[in-house]
Each structure stands twice: as C-alpha cells, then as structure tokens.
Amino acid sequence: MYKHILVAVGSDSNFSTLHSAIDMARECGAYLTTVHVVDAAPHMAMMADLSIGAAIDAFETHARSVVDQCNRILDEAGCDGEAQMWATPLSGSTIGHVIAAAARELGADLIMVSGVNPGWLRIYAQNVPKDVMRYSTLPVLVMTLQAAAPAQVAHAAAAV
C-alpha cells in the first residue's frame, strides 16, 4: 500500500479531493502532504498597472490561506500530514510540472489531483492532471466529481 500520498489542492471551497485523500490515507496508514501551487505568471500580463511585488504578495497571501485551511482540515480529521505551498517559476513551468517535482522531492508514492472540468474555460486553462501524468513516474489518481461525491457524503455524515 501507499506510505506517502501527495494531494494537489486548488482554491475550491469544498476540498473534495483532499477529503478523498484523507480517507485513502487513513485506509493505508499513509502520511498525507497537501500541495497548493501558486502560479502568478498567467496573471502578470493583466497587471501592467500594478506593482509586480504587490501582486505576488497577494497571490502568496491567498495561497497561505489555502494552506492554513488544509492544515485545519488535516487536524480536524486527525490525519498525519501537512500542507505546503509551492510556486511555479515565472516562466517555463506548469502547475502539473511543479506538482510532479514536489512529489519526487518529498518522496511520495501516489499523487492525487482533481479532474474537475473547468467547462468552456478549459480552452485557456492548464490541464493539470495531464501535466502531472506527463511529468511524473508515480501513479496519479485523478478524482472526478463522481468519485469525490461519496467522500463528501461520508465527510458530511462524520461532521454531524
């Protein structure tokens, strides 16, 4: 079984992939690392009038709040793990590439990512699960809405 699971978390408000990862980590007795990747590069072109330093600070502040929320969820679940923030370089890398690199560096043996379809915005958005699979030699579990739904129901029932 798995000993160290890395789960990529975005800014979604329900953290369904994280809840599914917690369930899997409990079943396996695995350590769980959540990684939130800050990718400021796509937004820099739209911020010509703003200070780049201030914009990066804003992205990092938001990412820290996501990491803090993940740490709270891990603590409340009694799950052995931690949340981390990673950042893409300003050019030449994708979120998926950073997730794969983090998994290698941290010694994970499974990567979990959300496969939520961004709708028509997928034309402009990065395909994170595809990039993770491209850059990683580890198994990658892509959580869809259908797969995450049972974890959400179980988490809601446990909270009652």
pLDDT for residue 37 is more than 60: yes
> Which range, of 3-7, 45-49, 100-104, averages the lowest pLDDT?
45-49
Q: What gap in Å lies between CA 50 and CA 6, rounded to an integer?
A: 34
In the chain, domain spans: 4-159
Percent of the chain whose pLDDT exceeds 90? 51
Q: Is 56 exposed, middle or buried (0-12, 13-18, 19+ CB in 10 A)?
A: middle
pLDDT score of 70: 96
Q: Give the per-residue pLDDT at 156.
A: 44
How high is the pLDDT of residue 2? 95
The rounded distance, in Å, linking the Cα atoms of 79 and 155 is 13
Residue owning tokens 């590439």? 97
- Residue percentage of the chain with pLDDT more than 70: 72
Q: Give the Cα separation of 15 and 42 in Å (integer).
A: 23
From 71-80, 92-101, 121-130, 151-160, the region with the lowest mean pLDDT? 151-160
In angstroms, the CA 66 to CA 62 distance is 6
What was the pLDDT predicted at 154?
45
Whole-model pTM: value is 0.80
pLDDT, position 87:
87
pLDDT at 160: 41
CATH topology assigned to domain 4-159: Rossmann fold (3.40.50)
DSSP state of 144: P
Q: Residue 136: what pLDDT?
A: 95
Cα–Cα distance for residue pair 101/54, rounded to 1 Å = 27
pLDDT, tens digit, 9 for 90 and up, residues 59-84: 788 889 999 999 999 999 999 999 99
CA atoms within 13 A on the CB side of 14: 13
Contact of 79 with 32, CB cutoff 8 Å:
yes
- Per-residue pLDDT for 132 more than 90? yes
Q: Give me the DSSP letters along 72-101.
A: HHHHHHT-SEEEEEEE--SSS--HHHHHHH
3-state secondary structure of 116: coil
Do residues 34 and 125 make contact, with C-beta atoms less than 8 angstroms apart?
no
